[in-house]
Amino acid sequence: MPITEQQLLQILPNAGRNAGVFVPALNTSMSRYGIVGTPRIAAFIAQVGHESGQFRWLKELWGPTVQQAGYEGRADLGNTVPGDGSKYRGRGLIQITGRANYAACGEALGLDLVNKPELLEMPQHAAMSAAWFWSTRGLNTLADQGEFVKITRRINGGLTGLDDRQALYDKALKVLA
């Protein structure tokens, strides 16, 4: 069951015109990565909706904040070259972050994201990268089990924005039921 623009706007009213732009990309990417059925789709839309500010931000807003400054030189993110922290800031609907994640995602999607990180700001790649990340982290299984907090930890590394994510999830479950 693909998601419609009307359903997306009911869940993410601040998406505005971007809802229509993203519906085809979301349906293609969710289908490719098995994000099917209400529990999976609701959890996915809630998480990407939060991460992207309801599809308004496809590139992490950069201060840099203290946390963002911490991306620089982080070996676990593969940020080994000076400037990698900013170059490989969060992008796409789920905010892929770090040289290593850009390389892995690019390999999976057939894109040169290491040399062209801005490709993740294009709707089709923003959605597909989010679905790829979701799939590679085993999030369909957690969605089937209703483990929304665990999904948040795997995406965010913590529970930042949990109240907003949960509200979007509750709304998505109602809209998609």
Task: Tell me the pTM.
Answer: 0.96
Active-site residue identified among 5, 51, 107, 118? 51
> pLDDT for 39-91, tens place per residue?
999 999 999 999 999 999 999 999 999 999 999 999 999 999 999 999 999 99
First-residue to last-residue Cα distance in the chain: 11
> pLDDT for 92-123, tens place per residue?
999 999 999 999 999 999 999 999 999 999 99
> pLDDT for 132-162, tens place per residue?
999 999 999 999 999 999 999 999 999 999 9
Instruction: For residue 5, indicate whether it is catalytic.
Output: no
> Mean per-residue pLDDT for 22-40?
98
Query: With 90 as the cut, is the pLDDT of residue 1 above it?
Result: no
Residue 26: which domain range?
Answer: 5-176
Q: What is the CATH number of the domain that holds 160?
A: 1.10.530.10
Look at the chain and report how many structural domains it folds into. 1
